[in-house]
């Protein structure tokens, strides 16, 4: 009996990408800010206030960026689709030739190319969809992509930012908060990097180390500059 083949493909790449963008920045930027302030002030309240303000601003900025990126993707797709409809309407023979060239790249002979191209050209909607995907390499974006992207990135940033900042709620001095924040953030960066790499098909351990190193380097740079200035 032949073994059952189960295909495993990542189908929610946009959602995963948004979480990665929001969470990675959320863990890194507020941690670096708090670390920098820890080298310049002697009061946790200042760090908490600045950290919360940064998280709110970051959520809005990152969420808005995700929304605008999603809207731009939709507008670009619709613009190209209108152009493609115009081309199949007014330059039919040239577009049929382009279809044949696409099939030729897959090893289909001249006769097969002609049959397939003529069959496809009978349905203008399917013809345009085919050209959008195989000529331009564009997939139609989800109509809710902009909204979902904004929410996902914003929430992920907020969650990521609150993790390193939480250490300053639990301690009385910036130095103690920094040490606890470093432990929490290092752990979270490692776990986040590990699962992000695992989901995206990359070496998990290597990805975890890379993500952790980037976050710690950013925080160390911010702390050193604030310490130097103060």
- Each residue's pLDDT tens digit in the chain (230 positions)? 445 545 454 455 777 778 888 887 888 888 888 887 887 788 899 999 999 999 999 999 999 988 998 888 888 888 888 888 888 888 888 888 888 888 888 888 888 888 888 888 888 888 888 888 888 887 877 788 888 889 999 999 999 899 989 999 999 888 898 889 889 988 888 888 888 777 767 888 888 888 888 877 876 776 677 667 65
Residue at token pair 């925080």: 219
| Per-residue pLDDT, 69 | 87
| pTM of the complete model | 0.74
- Residue 36: Cβ within 10 Å count: 25
pLDDT in the model for residue 157: 92
Model pLDDT, residue 219: 67
What lies within 8 Å, CB to CB, of 67 at 6+ separation is 146, 147, 149, 150
Q: What is the pLDDT of residue 3?
A: 53
For 32, the token pair is: 């670096």
142 to 147, 165, 167: CA distances (angstroms)? 10, 35, 39
Asked if 54 and 29 touch (Cβ cutoff 8 Å), the reply is yes
Q: What share of the chain is helix, strand, coil (3-state, %, to 5)?
A: 80, 0, 20
SS3 113: helix
Residue 38, Cβ density class (10 Å: 0-12 exposed, 13-18 middle, ≥19 buried)? buried
Question: Would you give the distance in Å from CA 85 to the centre of its chain?
Answer: 31
* Three-class secondary structure of residue 176 per DSSP: helix
pLDDT for residue 9: 46
pLDDT at 4: 54
99 in Cβ contact with 131 (< 8 Å): yes
């Amino acid at each position: 009996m032949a073994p059952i083949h189960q295909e495993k493909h990542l189908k929610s790449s946009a959602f995963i990408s948004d979480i990665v963008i929001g969470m990675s920045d959320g863990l890194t930027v507020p941690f670096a800010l708090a670390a920098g302030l820890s080298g310049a002030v002697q009061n946790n309240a200042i760090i908490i206030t600045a950290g919360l303000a940064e998280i709110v601003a970051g959520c809005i900025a990152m969420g808005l960026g995700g929304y605008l990126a999603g809207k731009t993707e939709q507008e670009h797709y619709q613009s190209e689709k209108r152009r493609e409809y115009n081309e199949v309407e007014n330059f039919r023979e040239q577009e049929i030739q382009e279809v044949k060239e696409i099939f030729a790249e897959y090893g289909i002979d001249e006769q097969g190319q002609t049959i397939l191209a003529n069959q496809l050209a009978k349905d203008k909607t399917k013809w345009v969809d085919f050209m959008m995907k195989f000529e331009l390499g564009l997939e139609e974006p989800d109509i809710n992509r902009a909204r979902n992207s904004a929410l996902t990135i914003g929430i992920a940033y907020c969650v990521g930012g609150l993790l390193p900042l939480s250490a300053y709620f639990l301690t009385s001095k910036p130095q103690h908060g920094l040490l606890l924040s470093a432990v929490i953030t290092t752990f979270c960066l490692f776990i986040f990097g590990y699962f992000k790499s695992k989901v995206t098909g990359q070496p998990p351990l290597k990805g975890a180390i890379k993500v952790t190193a980037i976050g710690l380097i950013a925080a160390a740079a911010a702390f050193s500059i604030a310490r130097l200035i103060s």
